[in-house]
Amino acid sequence: MTQTISSGARFYALRLVPGTDVLDAVQDFVRVNGLQAVALVTVVGSLTDAVIRYANQPDGTRSSGHFEIVSMVGTIEPTGAHVHLSLSDGSGRMFGGHMLSGCLVYTTAEIVLAHLKDFEFTRVPCAQSGYEELTIRSHG
């Protein structure tokens, strides 16, 4: 059975301007503000460039054009992040996967973050998945 723990949250709202790298900006915000456990609540906006690692692929794929952010979800801590991104192009075709640095704002990115004040997120190697996976520690 999975253990369930809870935390209070403080919310932050950001607006990123054209040309900003979305993932880098969010990770910088988390580090600069000393936040230990953050979840993306909502994101809307658009990109000119997207770098996404598709399922079971070793490297990211770069796409350029004009894309609407349909969804962006994930967890962020000072030393890393696990974020998934879904985009649509001008014809409504959707694509998405694991978000990497290099996703640049076209017109805006309006982001709401939840700082989970009673948690600390870290990533440690997982023998089952072969990746560094989220570890949640409660300190509240």
Q: How confident is the model over 1-20, as pLDDT tens digits?
A: 466 789 999 999 999 999 99
**Average pLDDT, stretch 56-67?**
96
Average the pLDDT over each of 34-43, 85-94, 108-117, 127-136 and give the range with the smallest value: 127-136
Indicate whether 111 belongs to any domain.
Answer: yes
Torsion of CA 42, 44, 49, 55, to 10 degrees: 40
The answer to whether 68 touches 46, Cβ cutoff 8 Å, is yes
Q: Which range marks the domain in which residue 14 is found?
A: 10-138
pLDDT for 15-59, tens place per residue? Answer: 999 999 999 999 999 999 999 999 999 999 999 999 999 998 999
Indicate whether 5 belongs to any domain.
Answer: no
Partnered with residue 83 across adjacent β-strands are 74
List the CATH number of the domain containing 102: 3.30.1330.80
- Provide the 10 A C-beta neighbour count for residue 140: 11
Indicate whether 29 belongs to any domain.
Answer: yes
